[in-house]
Amino acid sequence: MSEDFALTLAQINPVVGDVAGNVARILAARTVAARDGAHLAVFPELTVSGYPPEDLVLKAAFLDAVEAGVADLAEVTGDGGPALLVGAPWRVDGRCYNAALLLEGGRVAATTLKHHLPNYGVFDEVRVFAPGPLPATVAFRGLRLGVMVCEDMWHADVARALADDGAELLIVPNGSPFELDKAGVRLGHAAARVSESGLPLVYVNQVGGQDELVFDGASFVLDVRGRRVLGLPAWDEASVTMTWRRDGRGLVPQAIDDRQSGAAREEDIYRALVTGLGDYVAKNRFPGVVLGLSGGIDSALAAAIAVDALGAERVWCVMMPSPYTSAESLEDAKAVAEMLGCRYDILGIEPAMAAFDAMLAPVAGGRAPGVTEENIQSRARGLTLMALSNAFGPMVLSTGNKSEMSVGYATLYGDMCGGFAVLKDVYKTTVFALSRWRNRTRPPGGRGPDGPVMPERVIVKPPSAELRPDQTDQDSLPPYEVLDGILACLIEGEVSVAGTVARGWDETVVRQVWRMLDRAEYKRRQAPPGVKITSRSFGRERRYPITNGFTGAI
């Protein structure tokens, strides 16, 4: 290669299963790459199918559609413009692989098959893909490219094999989901591969939400010294073309442009939640959301996220007071809706409570009121929201948080009711932190107000479900800073009860929390999906049996 090599990093937001739409997105990005003079445009992992496609790849008709889409893309490259490096599930000799395909000159010019298939956390690729061999380099216009598909970058053997085969540049297409503190881990693995191979590295990650996963983009380039010389924005689609030149040191980037600065922890979490909810609603074609606005902090934060994701005109807040709802809660709920600018209605549930009391009286009359009556209130609210959803179309947005879900402090078919639980993986202490942050800061791209989104009283008052007189959450739970600290040990850390106690938590409280966590598995199995932000979200990452005779403090 005697001339400069121009490469486009195309950080896009595909839709799983929408092959035609994804092909159109790739072609739109190629048009931009051609305008910028690119020789090659690199896209994220499994771009043609969307990631992760899960059991769709077990359907022959789906793989047929993917192959037809790839053929359409390949044909376009016959015009002599930019070649494409795209990801697709790909059949070879009757087996399906997670592949990166180089499309050039009107054909599939080279195929790289993913070698290391992740089978931990949210990943289940061993179930649907066959592992490929250690890859060889790809010849491209006088260059030798080393392609490593996502997980292959996390292991030293693939980069070593490519370097031994004469690679001059490592290219890593990714579908790497967001979780807290993962950006540094990614960068560390990339820097290790650069150090071991002596080669620069291009990392291209997808962006957007897919069910419970969110992808933050944040693609980057490292030079041969491991310096980050280019960074794409987190949470936004982006396309950047950079130029490389070959000299005695190998391929050298000609322009250093790393304007990406690290976001605050709260901003990353908040934007993950906005992205996850916004794409879930948009990709599933809901007209908007409806949620119960109680005057408490969880529903206020959920409403703010919804408005930032969708716009106030697509968010419907409903206050459903009971005889136990305080005047403060009525005032605060109204104030939140007014600050956010969204629709607000009041539908009291006392008639439903009375109807249930009368209906149950022949078999349950004379009992002292208790948890049954409390749950009826919650279920009356859930039924009301579902009725509004059925009648008018918006998806019911659940507002419960991870602390509550962990210990079962939630009512099945009541406050757990909904199509999506945006705070499902957010501990209560983080709910407080995000609410304070959002009252100070409007997130980039947020559609909500530039200013506070809830009264300060919503943040500082003691949390309460208000299902009986003078109730607070701490009647049933340890203080949230204690509860969340213990839960982080038991869930994310998989620390034993004894190990958690050794970290300074009271043994009686730890055992109480562990018992509640263990007993609530059946509720969590029936919860709606929600955005994953931690390293151990409920669902695919934490799978305990509901019927479980093991009672030891694990």
Neighbouring-strand partners of residue 214: 209
Write down the H helix ranges in 59-138: 60-76
> At 362, phi and psi to the nearest 5?
-60, -25
Residues 6+ away with beta carbon under 8 Å from 227: none
What CA–CA distance (Å, rounded) separates 447 from 308? 4
What CA–CA distance (Å, rounded) separates 340 from 449? 6
What CA–CA distance (Å, rounded) separates 49 from 376? 44
Active site residue: 45, 168, 267, 541, which one?
45
Neighbours of 196 (CB within 10 A): 12
Neighbours of 101 (CB within 10 A): 23
Residue 385's nearest CA partner among 398, 402, 376, 373 is 398
Active site residue: 3, 75, 104, 114, which one?
114
C-alpha distances out from residue 466 to 322, 385, 460, 463, Å: 8, 18, 16, 9
In this structure, are residues 14 and 50 in contact, taking their beta carbons and an 8 Å threshold?
Answer: yes
What CA–CA distance (Å, rounded) separates 13 from 19? 13
What CA–CA distance (Å, rounded) separates 98 from 114? 6
What CA–CA distance (Å, rounded) separates 96 from 109? 19
Which tokens hold the place of 193?
Answer: 């591969």
Pairing of strands 250-253, 238-247: antiparallel
C-alpha distances out from residue 469 to 323, 370, 378, 407, 475, Å: 9, 12, 15, 22, 12
Q: Is 67 known to be catalytic?
A: no
Q: Is 114 known to be catalytic?
A: yes
Which tokens hold the place of 423?
Answer: 């705070």
In this structure, are residues 193 and 159 in contact, taking their beta carbons and an 8 Å threshold?
Answer: yes
In this structure, are residues 476 and 304 in contact, taking their beta carbons and an 8 Å threshold?
Answer: no
Active site residue: 104, 125, 150, 317, which one?
150
Residues 6+ away with beta carbon under 8 Å from 297: 431, 432, 435, 454, 458, 459, 463
| Three-state SS sequence of 272-333 | HHHHHHHHHHHHCCCCCEEEECCCCHHHHHHHHHHHHHHCHHHEEEEECCCCCCCHHHHHHH
449-466 burial, b at 16+ Cβ within 10 Å, e below that, comes to beebbbbeebbebebbbb
What CA–CA distance (Å, rounded) separates 175 from 157? 20
> At 157, phi and psi to the nearest 5?
-65, -35
Name the residues annotated as catalytic: 45, 114, 150
